[in-house]
Structure 1
Amino acid sequence: MASNRSIFEQLLDKYDAALAEAFFQGIDAIKSQITLRIVVERLEKGDVAGAIEAIQLDRDAFSALELALAEAYNSGGIRLVENLPKLKDPEGNRVIFRFGVRNPEGEAFLRDHSAQLVTRIVDDQRVAIRQALETGLSQGRNPRSTALDVVGRINRVSGRREGGIIGLTSPQERFVTSARQELLSGDSALLRNYLTRQRRDKRFDATVLKAIKEGKPILAETVARIAGRYSDRLLQLRGEMLARTETMTALGTARQNAMRQQIDNGKVAASDVKKIWRSAGDGRVRHTHRVLNGKAAEIDGVFQSVSGAVLRYPGDPLAPVSEISGCRCHLEYKVDYFASIVERFRAA
């Protein structure tokens, strides 16, 4: 039988990739349906709200993300009960553990959490896009260039829009805007600062170094390409972090609900269940979770982080983002099955 850790890692890798793909699919769907002419026309009139409306940031673009989240949740619960020990009661009857994917807790989680996730993505994009459009217009840039900086430019080879800031968080949009200003400045100090950005495309470093040496600004067309690649890399980071965090939340919630179902169905007693925090065990684990490693709690208990945060399980959606973003920890459930079966038999 595969270890609890390896099963969890397999699920995490599988659905981490699935959620990231679904997120990027949603972004591509939005970009591919943009009519640039309409966005530009509205910007020419100073109608920023109308330009944002023309980009059509529809929730439905992320339907695949909601489906992937549901699949991760269901698989997390199913795999937990599949790997519970095969037991028999004192009369020789096999104890059957099942995970009901259509249970009230699961349906509430998928409905509410999915809605909140997509709303958060869409709302944050609106803020980021508004920031970018207002900044471009306030700097006197022409509406077409401003629009292209937001929606991206079409790659003549792939036919897809690349760059732009659709899909980025509002802080990431500010990173792109400030990077573009550094590249356009012609100021050696600002250009050197651009070279400290970790997510930049280093293939353009020679161009930036040449501009520093010659004391000349970089051509606007070249800046658009450099900023576009920087934006694409930030979007990749955003998708990866969102997918990892949401996969952890789905799996952690499903596993907790699955064990709670066994208790509610009388298969085991709550007093006989302990949950133990297990970190990923490498140098990437955040300090607060290294401290939690090996700590135990009752099934409905919580783990107290040294940061002051309280978590029911890794990926707990009620915990601060700083405690769940990129987390790879999991819970090990320890059950005194013999005690539970004897108690169940006596009660019968």
Structure 2
Amino acid sequence: MLRRLSSRERFGILVQQFEPILRIAFLDAIDDITSNIVLRRVVERLERFDINGAIKAMHLDEAAFRPLDEAIRAAFNGGGVAAVEGMPTLRDPFGHTIVVRWDMRNLAAEEWLRLHSSTLITGIVQDQETAIRTALEAGLARGDNPTRTALDVVGRVNRVTGTREGGVIGLTAQQAGYVDNARRELSSGDPAAMRNYLDRGRRDKRFDRTVAKAIREGKPLPADMVARITSRYADGLLKLRADTISLHETFAALGESRDIAFRDQITKGNVRADTVTKTWRHTAQERPRLQHVAMAGQVVRFDQPFMAPDGTAIPYPHAPGVPARHTLGCKCFCEYKIDFAATLVQ
């Protein structure tokens, strides 16, 4: 006899299905941007100290992120379908089965998709422009020539794969700053600064011996070696960015669609709000949020928020407007339960 999957198992399957799709969509968007950059055009503008023109030549428009938008839409739809399929069989007072369907075109669903995707993609593009502007200005201020400055930003072409690697496109402004700091540390010749690089978690450890040798000799690394090392470091940060976005957006899309699915059935009169409860489910992690561990098993009515120990009201994990300290990297989810005995529509 087939065992019925638990709510946690069903949710886990959805995450395993959609998180990789979102990760690939984000990385494909970055690859689309970098592969279409004509380096000569960027360099020409930098030679005239035209930073705005150089950024414009990179074509950082929102259309490049449409695949990510579609991936979020797919995860959102998958969460809604699963939520409806997991509901118990509902019957009216006459014993007739109530037909329950997930409608991704309902007003709440379309509004969330429109606002969420627009805000996310606009934010990514704006942050990109800030990171790139800062990196270009820093490169020229160091005295790097326009070509090296451009390559440090857009990445260098791998002769084997034909794709650009390294660079800061795709990174947050903060991460781009990390790359610039690492470049200065490795170029400094200062043993203390170079040791600081060896503490960077996303560095490519295959270069550690090279850096350690430079520290022992008290010499700065050659410029071409610094470029190689920082490019690999930037790639590590880009992977982190892709992992962060795919995790957060997958959980956000699944969480919102599941909540909307139940809200939609309540609005239609198929389910009474007072028969639905929500339970906070915590997923074990290497570095768990202690507040979320404390919230595990907390049960509230559908129309009530969960309460975190710090006083934050959370409608459900990854709900819009919840502070980042409760969302980024969070793998908690909300388990909905309908009181089967009370589901008859009055």
How far the C-alpha of 1:282 sits from its partner, in A, is 4.3
How far the C-alpha of 1:315 sits from its partner, in A, is 1.0
Read off the aligned partner of 2:20 and give its amino acid letter.
A
Q: Which residue is 1:253 aligned to?
A: 256
Change (3 A) 1:169 1:282: closer
3-state DSSP class of the match of 1:275?
strand
In 1, the alpha carbon distance for the partners of 2:160 and 2:285 equals: 41
Q: Does 1:294 align with 2:294?
A: no
In 1, the alpha carbon distance for the partners of 2:310 and 2:68 equals: 31
Change (3 A) 1:186 1:283: closer
TM-score, with length taken from structure 2 = 0.97
Q: Which residue is 1:330 aligned to?
A: 333
3-state DSSP class of the match of 1:55?
coil
Q: Which residue is 2:160 aligned to?
A: 157
In 1, the alpha carbon distance for the partners of 2:285 and 2:102 equals: 31
Read off the aligned partner of 2:111 and give its amino acid letter.
A
How far the C-alpha of 1:128 sits from its partner, in A, is 0.3
How far the C-alpha of 1:20 sits from its partner, in A, is 0.7
Q: Which residue is 1:219 aligned to?
A: 222
8 Å contact from structure 1 (residues 268, 337) kept in 2: no
3-state DSSP class of the match of 1:281?
coil
Could you give the per-residue CA deviations for residues 274-320 of structure 1, whole angstroms, max 9, x where no partner exists? 11111113443311211111112221211222233221111112111
How far the C-alpha of 1:15 sits from its partner, in A, is 1.0
| 1:125 paired residue among 124, 128, 147 | 128
| 1:199 paired residue among 198, 202, 222 | 202
In 1, the alpha carbon distance for the partners of 2:285 and 2:223 equals: 44
8 Å contact from structure 1 (residues 16, 243) kept in 2: yes
Q: Which residue is 2:62 aligned to?
A: 59
Identity %: 48
Could you give the per-residue CA deviations for residues 250-270 of structure 1, whole angstroms, max 9, x where no partner exists? 000000000111111111111
Q: Does 1:97 align with 2:106?
A: no
8 Å contact from structure 2 (residues 90, 343) kept in 1: no
In 1, the alpha carbon distance for the partners of 2:170 and 2:30 equals: 6
3-state DSSP class of the match of 2:124?
helix
Q: Does 1:315 align with 2:318?
A: yes
How far the C-alpha of 1:94 sits from its partner, in A, is 1.6
In 1, the alpha carbon distance for the partners of 2:184 and 2:234 equals: 14
Could you give the per-residue CA deviations for residues 162-215 of structure 1, whole angstroms, max 9, x where no partner exists? 000000000000100000000111111111111010110000001001111122
Read off the aligned partner of 1:50 and give its amino acid letter.
G
In 1, the alpha carbon distance for the partners of 2:311 and 2:237 equals: 30
How far the C-alpha of 1:87 sits from its partner, in A, is 4.2
Could you give the per-residue CA deviations for residues 95-120 of structure 1, whole angstroms, max 9, x where no partner exists? 32221111000000011100000001
Off by >4 Å, runs of 4+ in structure 1: none
Read off the aligned partner of 1:3 and give its amino acid letter.
S
How far the C-alpha of 1:88 sits from its partner, in A, is 3.9
Read off the aligned partner of 2:328 and give its amino acid letter.
S
In 2, the alpha carbon distance for the partners of 1:85 and 1:185 equals: 65
8 Å contact from structure 1 (residues 163, 228) kept in 2: yes
In 2, the alpha carbon distance for the partners of 1:308 and 1:28 equals: 42
How far the C-alpha of 1:13 sits from its partner, in A, is 1.6
In 1, the alpha carbon distance for the partners of 2:228 and 2:336 equals: 51
In 2, the alpha carbon distance for the partners of 1:284 and 1:334 equals: 29
Q: How many residues align?
A: 343
How far the C-alpha of 1:245 sits from its partner, in A, is 0.5
Q: Which residue is 1:7 aligned to?
A: 10
Q: Which residue is 2:78 aligned to?
A: 75
How far the C-alpha of 1:91 sits from its partner, in A, is 3.2
Q: Does 1:263 align with 2:266?
A: yes
TM-score, with length taken from structure 1 = 0.96
**Which stretches in structure 2 are left out of the alignment for 5+ residues?**
none
8 Å contact from structure 1 (residues 151, 161) kept in 2: yes
